[in-house]
Amino acid sequence: MRSSLTDVRKQTVLDELIFLREWIGNPLKTGAVSPSGRWLARAMASEVDLSTDGPVIELGPGTGVFTKAMIDRGVAPERLILIEYNPDFCRLLAKRFPGVQIVNGDAYALGGHLEALGISEVASIVTGLPLLSRPMARRIELIDAGVKALKPGKPLIQFTYGPQAPVPAQPGRFDVRRGRRVLFNLPPATTWIYSRD
């Protein structure tokens, strides 16, 4: 038990260092100085619809904090498709999560990636992308592309550290509802769930 706790601490420190290095190299692409905490990861994973068949997409997985939480919750690795821009993170994810499909590319080109993979509908989308670093029009495009790829009523899960949704609802295109407020994350975060009727 003690050695497993030590391994978890070592992994956490390693992830912090990797994230910090990547953030220093390109802060707008990495978007955070450190990975999200386990409480936020669990809150994000809890919104994934396990009762619906089909792929689960993760946008901007980084070192795989949300990926691990989804697998721990019961999402089969072969259902997961991770779209990650950073090739170093892609290599790390491939090593950590055998059986998961990894696409090295821009998450904002989601529609093109799904078309190339021959996927028309997905069960859930989880995203840790730093949306607030992008112009609002670009954010709306991403959420719109995501909800169009989802089966009706299924969730696109995003989080933010701010008090408001990073993208407001767009009548006729998608709705948004507040999920969980995660006070144990540093800084505290809120999950937001986007969907279409």
pLDDT tens digits for range 16-48: 555 455 545 555 444 444 457 889 999 999 999
Position 13 pLDDT exceeds 80: no
Position 143 pLDDT exceeds 80: yes
Distance CA 119, CA 63 (A): 25
Position 128 pLDDT exceeds 80: yes
> For residue 156, which of 111, 117, 129, 195 has the smallest C-alpha distance?
195
| N residues, the chain | 197
Averaged confidence pLDDT in the chain: 87
Residue 131 is given by DSSP the state G
Distance CA 23, CA 27 (A): 4
Average pLDDT over residues 90-99: 96
The sign of the dihedral angle between the CA atoms of 178, 61, 151, 40 is: negative
Terminal C-alpha separation, the chain:
47
CB 186 within 8 A of CB 38: no
Average pLDDT over residues 153-163: 94
Position 64 pLDDT exceeds 90: yes
> For residue 15, which of 84, 89, 109 has the smallest C-alpha distance?
89
Q: Tokens 């070592």 appear where?
A: 10
Average pLDDT over residues 118-122: 95
CB 136 within 8 A of CB 166: no
Read off the pTM.
0.83
**54, 59, 60, 66 alpha-carbon torsion, rounded to 10°:** -50
Position 168 pLDDT exceeds 70: yes
